[in-house]
Amino acid sequence: MAIRSRKTGKPAPRQMAPQGTLARAPKKAAERGIAAAQKSRTNGRPEPWVGRRYLRKEDPRLIQGISHYADDLRLPGMLHCVFVRSPHAYARIAGIHTGAARSSPGVVAVYTASDTKALGVVPCAGALPDLKIPRHPVLAEGHVRHVGEPVAAVIAEDLYQARDAAEKVQVEYDPLPAVVDPEKALAGTNFVHASVKSNQAFTHQLKNGDVDAAFSRADRVVKARFVNQRLAPVSMETRGVVAQYLPGEKTLTVWSSTQIPHLLKTQVALILGVPETHVRVVTPEVGGGFGSKLNVYREEAVVPFAAMQLGRPVKWSESRRENIAATIHGRDQINYVELALKKNGTILGMRARVISDLGAYHQLLTPIIPTLTALLISGCYKIGALQCDVVGVFTNKMATDAYRGAGRPEATYIIERMVDLAARELNLDPAEIRRRNFPKPREYPFATITGITYDSGNYENAMKKALELAGYSRLRARQKDAWKRGKYYGVGLSTYVEICAMGPSTAMPAGGWESGTVRVEPTGKITVLTGASPHGQGQETTFAQIVADIFGLTPDDVNIVHGDTAAVPYGIGTFGSRATAVGGTAMYIAAQKVKAKMAAIAAHLLGEKAAAMNFSAGRVGTKKKSLGFGEVVGAAYVARNLPPGVEPGLEATHFFEPSNFTFPFGTHVVSCEVDAETGHIRIDKYVAVDDCGNVINPLLVEGQIHGGIVQGVSQALFEEVIYNEDGQLVTGTLMDYSMPKAAQVPEFILERTCTPSPVNPMGVKGVGEAGTIASTPAVVNAVCDALRPLGITHIDMPLKPEKVWRAIQQARAAAAS
Partner 1 sequence: MTKDIKIKINGVEHRASVEPRLLLVHFLREVAGLTGTHIGCETSLCGACTVMLEGRAVKSCTVLAVQADGASVTTVEGLAQSGALHPVQEGFWEEHGLQCGYCTPGMIMAAADLLEHSPAAAAGATPGDLEIREGLGGNICRCTGYQNIVAAVRSAARKMNRRKKAVAA
d(CA 418, CA 436): 15
> Does the protein bind ligand FES through residue 739 (CB under 6 A)?
no
Q: Among 152, 286, 402, 779, which residue sits at the site for partner 1 (rule: CB under 8 A)? A: 286
Query: Does residue number 536 form part of the binding site for ligand FES (CB under 6 A)?
Result: yes
Q: Between the CA of residue 553 and those of 520, 522, 556, 653, what are the distances in Å?
A: 12, 15, 8, 20
Name the residue among 547, 571, 534, 549 with its Cα closest to residue 766: 534
Q: Is residue 237 within the footprint of partner 1 (CB under 8 A)?
A: yes
Residue 187 CA to residue 198 CA, distance in Å, equals 9
Scan residues 528-587 and list those touching partner 1 (CB under 8 A). Answer: 535-538
* Of residues 141-160, those binding partner 1 (CB under 8 A): 159-160
Nearest distance from C-beta of residue 235 to ligand FES, angstroms: 7
Residue 113 host element (H or E): helix 113-116
DSSP-based three-state secondary structure for 149: coil
If one asks whether residue 538 binds ligand FES (CB under 6 A), the answer comes out as: no
How many angstroms separate the CA atoms of 679 and 801, rounded?
Answer: 4
| Binds partner 1 (CB under 8 A): choice among 469, 642, 734, 811 | 734
- 747's contact among ligand FES, partner 1, none, with CB below 5 to 8 A by partner kind, is partner 1
The nearer residue to partner 1, 88 or 315, going by C-beta atoms, is 315
Nearer of residues 436 and 706 to ligand FES, judged by Cβ = 706
CB-closest chain residue to ligand FES: 236
Return the residue of 119, 234, 271, 568 that touches partner 1, per CB under 8 A: 234
Q: Which of 5, 17, 39, 69 binds partner 1 (CB under 8 A)?
A: 69
String of contacts with ligand FES for each residue 792-811, x by CB under 6 A:
--------------------
Please list the alpha-helical segments (H only) found in 16-106.
29-41, 59-63, 99-102
The nearer residue to partner 1, 235 or 373, going by C-beta atoms, is 235
Q: Judged by CB under 8 A, does residue 733 bind partner 1?
A: yes
The site for ligand FES, by CB under 6 A, has a size of 3
Residue (127 or 236) nearer to ligand FES, CB: 236
CA distance 195 to 361: 13
Instruction: Candidates 405, 708, 777, 798: give the one binding partner 1 (CB under 8 A).
Output: 708
Of residues 649, 703, 763, 789, which one binds partner 1 by CB under 8 A?
Answer: 703
Q: Is residue 814 within the footprint of partner 1 (CB under 8 A)? A: no
- What number of residues does the chain have? 817
Calpha distance 636→287 (Å, rounded): 39
Q: Residues 3, 37, 196, 510: which binds partner 1 (CB under 8 A)?
A: 37
Which residues are 154's β-sheet partners? 82, 110
Q: Is 722 in the site for ligand FES (CB under 6 A)?
A: no
Q: How far apart are CA 432 and CA 429, in angstroms?
A: 5
Q: Of ligand FES, partner 1, none, which one sits near residue 684, judging by CB under 5 to 8 A according to partner kind?
A: none
Q: Is 767 helix (H, G, I), strand (E, B) or coil?
A: coil
- Other C-beta atoms lying within 10 Å of the C-beta of residue 440: 12
10 Å Cβ neighbour count for 429? 13
Distance CA(534)–CA(67), nearest Å, equals 15
DSSP 742: G
Options 12, 21, 50, 58; binder of partner 1; rule CB under 8 A: 58
- From the list ligand FES, partner 1, none, pick the one residue 739 interacts with, judged by a Cβ distance below 5 to 8 Å according to partner type: partner 1
570 binds, among ligand FES, partner 1, none (CB under 5 to 8 A by kind): none
Partner whose binding site includes residue 595, from ligand FES, partner 1, none (CB under 5 to 8 Å by kind): none
Residues paired with 516 in a beta bridge = 530, 654
Residue-by-residue DSSP string for 438-503: SPPGGG-SEE-TTS-EE----HHHHHHHHHHHHTHHHHHHHHHHHHHTT-EEEEEEEEEE--BS--
**CB within 8 A of 298, min separation 6: which ones?**
122, 136, 137, 138, 139, 150
What is the spatial distance between Cα 766 and Cα 243, in angstroms, rounded to a whole number? 33
Residue 43 one-letter amino acid: N
Our finding on whether 490 is near ligand FES (CB under 6 A) is: no
If binding is defined by CB under 6 A, does position 407 make contact with ligand FES?
no
453-454 and 446-447 beta bridge pairing = antiparallel
Q: Counting contacts by CB under 8 A, is residue 741 touching partner 1?
A: yes
Using rule CB under 6 A, residue 768 touches ligand FES: no
Question: CB neighbours (10 Å) of residue 796?
Answer: 15
Are 76 and 158 in contact by the 8 Å Cβ rule? The answer is: no
- Whether 151 and 192 have beta carbons less than 8 Å apart is answered as no
Query: Does 29 interact with partner 1 (rule: CB under 8 A)?
Result: yes
Helices (H), 608-752: 629-638, 698-717
Question: For residue 573, is it left (φ>0), alpha (ψ between -120 and 50) or beta?
Answer: left
H-assigned helices in 134-187: 159-168, 182-187
To ligand FES, the closest distance from the beta carbon of 303 in angstroms equals 22
Distances in Å between the Cα of 313 and the Cα atoms of 354, 400, 718 are 45, 31, 40
Min. distance of Cβ 137 from partner 1 in angstroms? 28
Stretch that binds partner 1, among 29-37, 135-143, 223-231, 601-609 (CB under 8 A): 29-37
Closest CA to 497 of 530, 454, 531, 549: 454
Smallest gap from residue 574 Cβ to partner 1 (A): 12
Q: Which of 236, 567, 639, 646 binds ligand FES (CB under 6 A)?
A: 236
> CB under 5 to 8 A by kind: which of partner 1, ligand FES, none does 297 bind?
none
- Closer to ligand FES by CB, 285 or 521: give it: 285
CA–CA gap between residue 9 and residue 588 (Å, rounded):
40
SS3 350: strand
Residue with Cβ nearer partner 1 (320 or 519): 320
Q: Which does 538 bind (CB under 5 to 8 A by kind): ligand FES, partner 1, none?
A: partner 1
**Candidate residues 373, 533, 711, 731; the one interacting with partner 1 per rule CB under 8 A:** 711
* Contact region with partner 1 (CB under 8 A), list: 177-185, 188-196, 281-289, 383-391: 281-289
Distance between CA 339 and CA 385 in Å, rounded? 10
Our finding on whether 288 is near partner 1 (CB under 8 A) is yes
Rule CB under 8 A: which of 744-803 touch partner 1?
A: 745, 747-748, 771
Residue 423 contact among ligand FES, partner 1, none, beta carbon within 5 to 8 Å by kind: none
H or E segment to which residue 279 belongs = strand 279-282
30 touches, from ligand FES, partner 1, none (C-beta below 5 to 8 Å by class): partner 1
Nearer to ligand FES, 131 or 699 (CB): 699
708 interacts with ligand FES by CB under 6 A: no
Residue 770: name the closest of 445, 573, 495 by CA.
495
The residue among 319 and 592 lying less far from ligand FES, judged by its C-beta, is 319
Cα 207 to the center of its chain, rounded Å: 28
Answer for the pair 637, 649: CB distance below 8 angstroms, yes or no: yes
Q: Which is nearer to partner 1, 31 or 210 (CB)?
A: 31
Q: Is 320 a residue that touches partner 1 (CB under 8 A)?
A: yes
Contact between residue 122 and residue 359 where contact means Cβ atoms under 8 Å apart: no
| Amino acid found at 104 | S
Binds partner 1 by CB under 8 A, chosen from 11, 13, 26, 62? 62
By CB under 6 A, is residue 288 in contact with ligand FES?
Answer: yes
Q: Report the residue number, 30 or 236, with the smaller CB distance to ligand FES.
A: 236
Binding site for partner 1 (CB under 8 A): 28-31, 33-34, 37, 55-56, 58-60, 62-69, 71-72, 74, 159-160, 234-238, 285-288, 290, 317, 319-320, 535-538, 699-700, 702-704, 706-711, 733-735, 739, 741-743, 745, 747-748, 771
Binding site for ligand FES (CB under 6 A): 236, 288, 536
